[in-house]
Amino acid sequence: MNWLTPELIEIVIAVLKAVVILLAVVVCGALLSFVERRLLGWWQDRYGPNRVGPFGMFQIAADMLKMFFKEDWTPPFADKVIFTLAPVIGMGALLTAFVIIPITPTWGVADLNIGILFFFAMAGLSVYAVLFAGWSSNNKFALLGALRASAQTVSYEVFLALALMGIVAQVGSFNMRDIVDYQAENLWFIIPQFFGFCTFFIAGVAVTHRHPFDQPEAEQELADGYHIEYAGMKWGMFFVGEYIGIVTISALLVTLFFGGWHGPFGILPQIPFIWFALKTCFFIMLFILLRASIPRPRYDQVMAFSWKFCLPLTLINLLVTGAVVLAAAQ
Protein backbone atom coordinates (compact mmCIF):
# COMPACT_ATOMS: atom_id res chain seq x y z
CA MET A 1 0.00 0.00 0.00
CA ASN A 2 2.96 2.35 -0.45
CA TRP A 3 1.25 4.16 -3.31
CA LEU A 4 -1.33 5.42 -0.86
CA THR A 5 0.77 8.29 0.39
CA PRO A 6 -0.75 11.01 2.55
CA GLU A 7 -0.28 13.45 -0.37
CA LEU A 8 -2.32 11.25 -2.67
CA ILE A 9 -5.09 10.91 -0.15
CA GLU A 10 -5.11 14.67 0.21
CA ILE A 11 -5.33 15.06 -3.53
CA VAL A 12 -8.15 12.56 -3.82
CA ILE A 13 -10.07 14.27 -1.03
CA ALA A 14 -9.53 17.66 -2.65
CA VAL A 15 -10.76 16.31 -5.98
CA LEU A 16 -13.78 14.74 -4.32
CA LYS A 17 -14.57 18.02 -2.57
CA ALA A 18 -14.25 19.86 -5.83
CA VAL A 19 -16.61 17.44 -7.55
CA VAL A 20 -19.13 17.79 -4.74
CA ILE A 21 -18.97 21.58 -4.96
CA LEU A 22 -19.28 21.46 -8.75
CA LEU A 23 -22.34 19.27 -8.55
CA ALA A 24 -23.86 21.36 -5.80
CA VAL A 25 -23.44 24.56 -7.77
CA VAL A 26 -24.87 23.09 -10.96
CA VAL A 27 -27.80 21.55 -9.12
CA CYS A 28 -28.41 24.86 -7.34
CA GLY A 29 -28.37 26.60 -10.69
CA ALA A 30 -30.85 24.18 -12.16
CA LEU A 31 -33.12 24.30 -9.10
CA LEU A 32 -33.12 28.06 -9.27
CA SER A 33 -35.26 27.97 -12.37
CA PHE A 34 -37.97 26.36 -10.28
CA VAL A 35 -37.35 28.62 -7.30
CA GLU A 36 -37.50 31.71 -9.46
CA ARG A 37 -40.78 30.72 -11.03
CA ARG A 38 -42.35 29.92 -7.69
CA LEU A 39 -41.13 33.16 -6.16
CA LEU A 40 -42.31 35.22 -9.13
CA GLY A 41 -45.63 33.47 -8.92
CA TRP A 42 -45.87 34.26 -5.25
CA TRP A 43 -45.10 37.94 -5.77
CA GLN A 44 -47.34 38.20 -8.78
CA ASP A 45 -50.50 36.91 -7.21
CA ARG A 46 -50.50 33.56 -9.02
CA TYR A 47 -49.30 30.03 -8.36
CA GLY A 48 -46.36 29.29 -10.60
CA PRO A 49 -45.51 25.66 -11.38
CA ASN A 50 -47.23 23.64 -8.63
CA ARG A 51 -48.48 20.50 -10.36
CA VAL A 52 -45.53 18.15 -10.75
CA GLY A 53 -44.78 16.45 -7.44
CA PRO A 54 -45.20 18.00 -3.98
CA PHE A 55 -45.31 21.83 -4.34
CA GLY A 56 -44.28 21.36 -7.94
CA MET A 57 -40.82 20.27 -6.83
CA PHE A 58 -40.38 17.87 -9.74
CA GLN A 59 -41.06 20.55 -12.31
CA ILE A 60 -37.34 20.83 -12.74
CA ALA A 61 -37.11 17.14 -13.62
CA ALA A 62 -39.91 17.51 -16.14
CA ASP A 63 -38.19 20.52 -17.67
CA MET A 64 -34.90 18.68 -17.92
CA LEU A 65 -36.53 15.69 -19.56
CA LYS A 66 -38.17 17.97 -22.05
CA MET A 67 -34.93 19.78 -22.76
CA PHE A 68 -32.93 16.58 -23.26
CA PHE A 69 -35.39 15.17 -25.76
CA LYS A 70 -35.88 18.33 -27.72
CA GLU A 71 -34.38 18.43 -31.18
CA ASP A 72 -30.94 19.94 -30.89
CA TRP A 73 -31.32 22.10 -33.95
CA THR A 74 -28.45 24.06 -35.43
CA PRO A 75 -29.62 26.51 -38.08
CA PRO A 76 -28.08 25.76 -41.50
CA PHE A 77 -27.01 29.38 -41.85
CA ALA A 78 -25.09 29.45 -38.54
CA ASP A 79 -21.34 29.17 -38.03
CA LYS A 80 -21.41 25.70 -36.48
CA VAL A 81 -18.22 25.64 -34.41
CA ILE A 82 -18.75 29.00 -32.74
CA PHE A 83 -22.46 28.34 -32.43
CA THR A 84 -21.67 25.24 -30.35
CA LEU A 85 -18.86 26.87 -28.41
CA ALA A 86 -21.00 29.78 -27.17
CA PRO A 87 -23.23 27.89 -24.70
CA VAL A 88 -20.17 26.02 -23.38
CA ILE A 89 -18.54 29.32 -22.50
CA GLY A 90 -21.86 30.63 -21.22
CA MET A 91 -22.15 27.86 -18.69
CA GLY A 92 -18.44 27.33 -18.06
CA ALA A 93 -17.05 30.79 -17.40
CA LEU A 94 -18.90 31.71 -14.23
CA LEU A 95 -18.95 28.11 -13.08
CA THR A 96 -15.16 28.10 -13.21
CA ALA A 97 -15.12 31.39 -11.35
CA PHE A 98 -16.77 29.62 -8.44
CA VAL A 99 -13.52 27.76 -7.67
CA ILE A 100 -12.08 30.76 -5.83
CA ILE A 101 -14.92 30.94 -3.35
CA PRO A 102 -14.11 29.65 0.14
CA ILE A 103 -17.33 28.10 1.37
CA THR A 104 -16.21 27.14 4.87
CA PRO A 105 -12.78 27.19 6.56
CA THR A 106 -12.18 23.66 5.23
CA TRP A 107 -14.25 23.59 2.04
CA GLY A 108 -13.36 25.34 -1.18
CA VAL A 109 -11.94 24.30 -4.50
CA ALA A 110 -8.84 26.39 -5.00
CA ASP A 111 -7.09 28.77 -2.70
CA LEU A 112 -5.56 31.04 -5.33
CA ASN A 113 -3.44 33.91 -4.19
CA ILE A 114 -4.77 35.90 -7.15
CA GLY A 115 -8.38 34.91 -6.31
CA ILE A 116 -10.20 38.09 -7.34
CA LEU A 117 -8.15 38.48 -10.49
CA PHE A 118 -9.17 34.98 -11.55
CA PHE A 119 -12.82 35.99 -11.18
CA PHE A 120 -12.25 39.08 -13.31
CA ALA A 121 -10.68 36.93 -15.99
CA MET A 122 -13.64 34.56 -16.04
CA ALA A 123 -16.18 37.39 -15.99
CA GLY A 124 -14.32 38.88 -18.95
CA LEU A 125 -14.55 35.58 -20.77
CA SER A 126 -18.24 35.16 -20.13
CA VAL A 127 -19.16 37.94 -22.52
CA TYR A 128 -17.81 35.85 -25.36
CA ALA A 129 -20.71 33.49 -24.87
CA VAL A 130 -23.15 36.20 -25.81
CA LEU A 131 -20.89 37.66 -28.45
CA PHE A 132 -20.26 34.33 -30.13
CA ALA A 133 -23.89 33.29 -29.91
CA GLY A 134 -25.06 36.53 -31.41
CA TRP A 135 -22.50 36.57 -34.17
CA SER A 136 -22.64 32.93 -35.19
CA SER A 137 -26.46 32.73 -35.21
CA ASN A 138 -26.50 34.93 -38.30
CA ASN A 139 -29.72 36.47 -37.11
CA LYS A 140 -30.32 40.20 -36.90
CA PHE A 141 -32.02 40.13 -33.52
CA ALA A 142 -29.20 37.98 -32.14
CA LEU A 143 -26.64 40.35 -33.60
CA LEU A 144 -28.28 43.37 -31.98
CA GLY A 145 -28.27 41.46 -28.71
CA ALA A 146 -24.58 40.69 -29.07
CA LEU A 147 -23.84 44.32 -29.85
CA ARG A 148 -25.65 45.42 -26.75
CA ALA A 149 -23.85 42.77 -24.70
CA SER A 150 -20.42 43.89 -25.79
CA ALA A 151 -21.17 47.56 -25.21
CA GLN A 152 -22.64 46.78 -21.82
CA THR A 153 -19.74 44.56 -20.82
CA VAL A 154 -17.14 47.12 -21.81
CA SER A 155 -18.92 49.69 -19.67
CA TYR A 156 -19.55 47.56 -16.63
CA GLU A 157 -16.38 45.47 -16.39
CA VAL A 158 -14.41 48.65 -15.88
CA PHE A 159 -15.91 49.37 -12.53
CA LEU A 160 -16.62 45.74 -11.71
CA ALA A 161 -12.88 45.49 -11.11
CA LEU A 162 -12.44 48.94 -9.65
CA ALA A 163 -15.23 48.41 -7.16
CA LEU A 164 -13.24 45.64 -5.47
CA MET A 165 -9.92 47.46 -5.43
CA GLY A 166 -10.92 49.20 -2.22
CA ILE A 167 -11.12 45.81 -0.50
CA VAL A 168 -7.84 44.70 -1.99
CA ALA A 169 -6.20 47.90 -0.77
CA GLN A 170 -7.53 47.43 2.76
CA VAL A 171 -6.70 43.75 3.02
CA GLY A 172 -3.51 43.95 1.04
CA SER A 173 -4.20 40.68 -0.71
CA PHE A 174 -6.18 39.24 -3.64
CA ASN A 175 -6.71 35.99 -1.75
CA MET A 176 -10.31 35.30 -0.82
CA ARG A 177 -9.51 33.56 2.44
CA ASP A 178 -7.40 36.52 3.52
CA ILE A 179 -10.35 38.77 2.75
CA VAL A 180 -12.74 36.67 4.81
CA ASP A 181 -10.30 36.50 7.73
CA TYR A 182 -9.76 40.24 7.59
CA GLN A 183 -13.52 40.79 7.85
CA ALA A 184 -13.75 38.47 10.85
CA GLU A 185 -11.09 40.52 12.63
CA ASN A 186 -12.36 43.92 11.54
CA LEU A 187 -15.69 45.13 10.18
CA TRP A 188 -17.53 43.38 7.37
CA PHE A 189 -16.73 45.26 4.22
CA ILE A 190 -20.35 46.19 3.65
CA ILE A 191 -19.74 49.11 6.03
CA PRO A 192 -16.35 50.56 5.05
CA GLN A 193 -16.83 49.64 1.41
CA PHE A 194 -20.51 50.48 1.06
CA PHE A 195 -20.13 52.26 -2.27
CA GLY A 196 -17.90 49.48 -3.48
CA PHE A 197 -20.69 47.08 -2.60
CA CYS A 198 -23.32 49.11 -4.44
CA THR A 199 -21.33 49.37 -7.62
CA PHE A 200 -20.11 45.77 -7.48
CA PHE A 201 -23.65 44.57 -7.04
CA ILE A 202 -24.82 46.60 -10.04
CA ALA A 203 -21.92 45.36 -12.14
CA GLY A 204 -22.59 41.83 -10.94
CA VAL A 205 -26.17 42.01 -12.19
CA ALA A 206 -24.83 43.33 -15.47
CA VAL A 207 -22.32 40.49 -15.78
CA THR A 208 -25.04 37.88 -15.40
CA HIS A 209 -27.29 39.72 -17.89
CA ARG A 210 -30.08 39.70 -15.39
CA HIS A 211 -32.92 42.16 -15.37
CA PRO A 212 -32.69 45.21 -15.58
CA PHE A 213 -29.41 44.64 -17.42
CA ASP A 214 -30.82 41.96 -19.68
CA GLN A 215 -30.33 44.24 -22.67
CA PRO A 216 -28.82 41.47 -24.83
CA GLU A 217 -31.98 39.40 -24.60
CA ALA A 218 -34.59 42.09 -23.88
CA GLU A 219 -37.60 39.99 -24.69
CA GLN A 220 -39.93 42.87 -25.49
CA GLU A 221 -37.49 44.43 -27.93
CA LEU A 222 -35.23 41.75 -29.34
CA ALA A 223 -37.43 38.74 -28.70
CA ASP A 224 -34.73 36.92 -26.68
CA GLY A 225 -31.81 38.46 -28.53
CA TYR A 226 -28.64 36.47 -28.64
CA HIS A 227 -30.08 33.01 -27.96
CA ILE A 228 -33.02 33.37 -30.34
CA GLU A 229 -31.73 30.58 -32.62
CA TYR A 230 -30.89 28.13 -29.83
CA ALA A 231 -32.97 25.14 -28.87
CA GLY A 232 -32.76 22.02 -26.72
CA MET A 233 -29.71 21.46 -24.56
CA LYS A 234 -27.68 24.29 -26.06
CA TRP A 235 -30.35 26.71 -24.99
CA GLY A 236 -30.54 24.86 -21.69
CA MET A 237 -26.86 25.53 -21.09
CA PHE A 238 -27.39 29.28 -21.51
CA PHE A 239 -30.34 29.03 -19.20
CA VAL A 240 -28.55 27.14 -16.46
CA GLY A 241 -25.44 29.24 -17.07
CA GLU A 242 -27.40 32.34 -16.17
CA TYR A 243 -28.48 30.83 -12.86
CA ILE A 244 -24.97 29.61 -12.10
CA GLY A 245 -23.88 33.20 -12.70
CA ILE A 246 -26.38 34.31 -10.08
CA VAL A 247 -25.09 31.75 -7.59
CA THR A 248 -21.49 32.74 -8.21
CA ILE A 249 -22.10 36.48 -7.94
CA SER A 250 -24.19 36.00 -4.80
CA ALA A 251 -21.47 33.84 -3.23
CA LEU A 252 -18.90 36.46 -4.15
CA LEU A 253 -20.97 39.24 -2.59
CA VAL A 254 -21.21 37.20 0.59
CA THR A 255 -17.51 36.41 0.64
CA LEU A 256 -16.32 39.90 -0.18
CA PHE A 257 -18.74 42.07 1.73
CA PHE A 258 -20.61 39.97 4.24
CA GLY A 259 -17.94 38.04 6.04
CA GLY A 260 -18.15 34.77 4.10
CA TRP A 261 -18.87 31.87 6.41
CA HIS A 262 -18.85 33.96 9.59
CA GLY A 263 -22.06 34.79 11.39
CA PRO A 264 -22.80 38.38 12.40
CA PHE A 265 -20.88 39.44 15.53
CA GLY A 266 -19.16 36.07 15.55
CA ILE A 267 -22.23 34.20 16.79
CA LEU A 268 -22.52 30.47 16.19
CA PRO A 269 -19.12 29.83 14.57
CA GLN A 270 -19.99 26.09 14.56
CA ILE A 271 -22.21 26.37 11.49
CA PRO A 272 -20.08 28.12 8.86
CA PHE A 273 -21.80 26.44 5.94
CA ILE A 274 -25.27 27.43 7.14
CA TRP A 275 -24.22 31.06 7.43
CA PHE A 276 -22.70 31.00 3.99
CA ALA A 277 -25.74 29.33 2.44
CA LEU A 278 -28.23 31.64 4.15
CA LYS A 279 -26.46 34.77 3.05
CA THR A 280 -26.06 33.47 -0.49
CA CYS A 281 -29.75 32.60 -0.68
CA PHE A 282 -30.59 36.13 0.39
CA PHE A 283 -28.72 37.60 -2.54
CA ILE A 284 -30.19 35.11 -4.96
CA MET A 285 -33.62 36.22 -3.78
CA LEU A 286 -32.57 39.80 -4.33
CA PHE A 287 -31.70 39.02 -7.94
CA ILE A 288 -35.13 37.53 -8.49
CA LEU A 289 -36.90 40.35 -6.67
CA LEU A 290 -35.12 42.84 -8.92
CA ARG A 291 -36.50 41.07 -11.93
CA ALA A 292 -40.01 41.08 -10.53
CA SER A 293 -40.07 44.71 -9.56
CA ILE A 294 -38.50 47.16 -11.98
CA PRO A 295 -38.77 48.09 -15.65
CA ARG A 296 -35.87 47.92 -18.05
CA PRO A 297 -34.05 51.14 -18.87
CA ARG A 298 -33.16 51.89 -22.45
CA TYR A 299 -29.79 50.64 -23.58
CA ASP A 300 -28.19 54.09 -23.93
CA GLN A 301 -29.50 54.97 -20.46
CA VAL A 302 -27.73 51.88 -19.12
CA MET A 303 -24.49 53.08 -20.71
CA ALA A 304 -24.94 56.59 -19.36
CA PHE A 305 -25.62 55.24 -15.88
CA SER A 306 -22.43 53.23 -16.02
CA TRP A 307 -20.06 55.91 -17.28
CA LYS A 308 -21.59 58.96 -15.68
CA PHE A 309 -22.58 57.61 -12.31
CA CYS A 310 -21.07 54.28 -11.35
CA LEU A 311 -17.57 54.83 -12.65
CA PRO A 312 -17.03 58.19 -10.91
CA LEU A 313 -18.48 56.71 -7.73
CA THR A 314 -16.05 53.79 -7.74
CA LEU A 315 -13.14 56.07 -8.48
CA ILE A 316 -13.99 58.36 -5.56
CA ASN A 317 -14.47 55.31 -3.35
CA LEU A 318 -11.07 53.98 -4.37
CA LEU A 319 -9.43 57.35 -3.81
CA VAL A 320 -10.89 57.76 -0.34
CA THR A 321 -10.03 54.17 0.61
CA GLY A 322 -6.49 54.70 -0.60
CA ALA A 323 -6.15 57.86 1.46
CA VAL A 324 -7.52 56.12 4.55
CA VAL A 325 -5.20 53.14 4.10
CA LEU A 326 -2.24 55.48 3.64
CA ALA A 327 -3.18 57.53 6.68
CA ALA A 328 -3.56 54.38 8.78
CA ALA A 329 -0.17 53.11 7.68
CA GLN A 330 1.61 56.25 8.80
Partner 1 sequence: MTADTVLSIPPYTADDQDVVVELNSRFGAESLTLQATRTGMPVIWVAREKLIAVLTCLRNLPRPFVMLYDLHGVDERLRTQRRGLPDADFTVFYHLMSIERNSDVMIKVALAEGDLNLPSVTSIWPNANWYEREVWDMYGIYFSGHPHLTRIMMPPTWEGHPLRKDYPARATEFDPFSLNLAKHQLEEEAARFKPEDWGMKRRGENEDYMFLNLGPNHPSAHGAFRIILQLDGEEIIDCVPEVGYHHRGAEKMAERQSWHSFIPYTDRIDYLGGVMNNLPYVLAVEKLAGIKVPDRVDFIRVMLAEFFRINSHLLFLGTYIQDVGAMTPVFFTFTDRQRAYKVIEAITGFRMHPAWYRIGGVAHDLPCGWDGLVREFVEWLPKRLDEYEKAALKNSILKGRTVGVAAYNTKEALEWGVTGSGLRATGLDFDLRKARPYSGYQHFDFEVPLAHNGDAYDRCIIRVEEMRQSLRIIEQCLKNMPEGPYKADHPLTTPPPKERTLQHIETLITHFLQVSWGPVMPANEAFQMIEATKGINSYYLTSDGSTMSYRTRIRTPSFPHLQQIPAVIRGSMVADLIAYLGSIDFVMADVDR
Rounded to whole angstroms, what are the CA distances from 151 to 5, 155, 206? 52, 6, 11
Using the rule CB under 8 A, is 198 a contact of partner 1? no
Using the rule CB under 8 A, is 220 a contact of partner 1? yes
Closer Cβ to partner 1, 84 or 150, answer by number? 150
Using the rule CB under 8 A, is 9 a contact of partner 1? no
Q: Which stretch binds partner 1 (CB under 8 A): 101-109, 119-127, 190-198, 212-220?
A: 212-220
Q: Which stretch binds partner 1 (CB under 8 A): 121-129, 160-168, 260-268, 288-296?
A: 288-296
Contacting partner 1 (CB under 8 A), which of 18, 112, 292, 324? 292
Rounded to whole angstroms, what are the CA distances from 40 to 37, 49, 91, 242? 5, 10, 23, 17
Using the rule CB under 8 A, is 239 a contact of partner 1? no
Using the rule CB under 8 A, is 299 a contact of partner 1? yes
Contact 145/131 with Cβ under 8 angstroms? no
Closer Cβ to partner 1, 39 or 168, answer by number? 39
Using the rule CB under 8 A, is 154 a contact of partner 1? no
Give the DSSP letter of residue 169. Answer: H
Using the rule CB under 8 A, is 286 a contact of partner 1? no
Residues between 44 and 73 that touch partner 1 (CB under 8 A): 44-46
Contacting partner 1 (CB under 8 A), which of 89, 122, 144, 206? 144
Binding mask 27-46 for partner 1 (x = CB under 8 A): -------------x--xxxx
Helical spans, DSSP H, in the chain: 6-43, 59-69, 80-97, 115-136, 140-171, 176-185, 194-207, 219-222, 232-257, 272-293, 299-305, 311-329
Rounded to whole angstroms, what are the CA distances from 259 to 103, 187, 322? 11, 9, 21
Can you spell out the DSSP letters for 283-305? HHHHHHHHHHH-PPPPHHHHHHH
Residues found near partner 1 in the complex (CB under 8 A)? 40, 43-46, 140-141, 144, 147-148, 211-212, 218-223, 291-301
